[in-house]
Structure 1
Amino acid sequence: MDAEESFARYVRERTAALSRIAYLLTGDAHLAEDLVQETLLGLVGRWSRIAAGGDPDPYVRRALYHQHVSFWRRGRRRPELVPEPADRPIPDSTATVADGLTLRRALARLAPGQRAVLVLRFYEDRTEQETADLLGCRVGTVKSQTRDALARLRRFAPELVELDFSRTEVGR
């Protein structure tokens, strides 16, 4: 199989999973699509070397996380999320949707690096070492980013402490 066919096959098989991760990073479906597309476009010219190294997934995910931080640094920011006014209840009738919205709003307030660490550690269930390897930093940085991100989440949305995240709609 040549590099073009290999890349096309990878894109068909892994776009949905990459899109879920990108959505968790960006908090916006359209920005997530852009992030996945930009990442894959950046890799297509080097695909033969990437695929020759074995499983390309870790490399692609790392590129996705780095591209997300680059988007943020270049000012490709999403519109600022404004909390609902106190006198208007959330129109959703299910606790699952409300919990997912609460989590998304809280994640949106984190810095991209903190968000990437939380997605890797708790959504992808990565170890501290794996997270550090994927982000190109030290384990101590992962630990401090995790600690700081969780502290910010507790401050921004203390109700998250009580949530059962297995029933939220985030990333599905």
Structure 2
Amino acid sequence: MDAEAQESFREFVAGRSTALLRTAVLLSGGDRHAAEDLLQNALVKAAGRWQRIDEPEAYVRQILYRQQISRWRLKWRRREVTVAEPPEAGHAPDVSGAAELRLVLRTALSRLTARQRTVLVLRYFEDLPEAEVARILGCSVGTVRSTTHRSLARLRQLAPELAGFGPRPRQRSHDFSPVEVRP
């Protein structure tokens, strides 16, 4: 890599690494160390092809997605998290602030499977259409739809306190009062 390409790569990393790390954290279920590893591996791969890349951010994001897919296919056992004291029963965290909401969401996302988490990140964080998610994951649009549906249902089950956030379901009007029709 020549000096100009090295400088271009350094500028890219300095300018876009924070946003790319956020995506990697979401993909890894909130595990910052795993996210840093994921991003570092993606940047190493991108550096090797830097002079031939037309859209660097899209290229690095594609590497992130594919590496995450490879990780969930390895079927590694998830490490169990141990805590000093059991959580209090019936105590729901206060999600009034944005920070608390992010923590609740991150915890709930980390309890989903890697596939479920990846589909939700691609659909809602990256705002990709179902067809694009299907192309990235190498599956059908129907699989993306069903996985999204099951993932959201599981997320609602894991974090019922999130029910107050997001789009509200539409209420159908059942008003059957007579309507005057004029010719």
TM-score, normalization by structure 1: 0.76
Distance in 2, matches of 1:124 and 1:13, equals 18
Query: Number of matched residues?
Result: 162
Once the 2 structures are TM-superposed, how far is the Cα of residue 68 of structure 1 from its aligned partner? 2.0
**Percentage of matched positions with identical amino acids:** 48
Partner of 2:42: 39
Q: Does the C-alpha gap of structure 1 residues 164 and 93 become closer, same or farther in structure 2, counting only changes over 3 Å? A: closer
User: In the TM superposition, what whole-angstrom CA distance separates every residue of 1:104-152 from its partner, at most 9, and x where no partner exists?
Assistant: 1110111112111111111122211222233333322221221111121
Once the 2 structures are TM-superposed, how far is the Cα of residue 22 of structure 1 from its aligned partner? 0.7
Q: For 1:14-53, what aligned pairs fall within 5 Å after superposition?
A: 14-26=16-28, 27-49=30-52, 51=53
Q: Structure 1 regions of 5+ residues with no counterpart?
A: 166-172
Find 1:153's aligned residue among 152, 155, 174.
155
SS at 2:127's partner residue? coil
SS at 2:156's partner residue? helix
Partner of 2:64: 64
Distance in 1, matches of 2:77 and 2:152, equals 22
- Could you say which structure has the greater relative contact order, defined with CA pairs below 8 angstroms and 6 or more residues apart? 1
> Which protein shows a greater Rg?
2
Partner of 2:55: 55
Partner of 1:136: 138
For the aligned residue pairs, the C-alpha RMSD in angstroms reads: 3.0
CA contact (8 A) 1:61 1:134 kept: no
TM-score, normalization by structure 2: 0.72
User: In the TM superposition, what whole-angstrom CA distance separates every residue of 1:19-76 from its partner, at most 9, and x where no partner exists?
Assistant: 0101111202222111100111122222223x1xx32322221210121233344477
CA contact (8 A) 1:81 1:105 kept: no
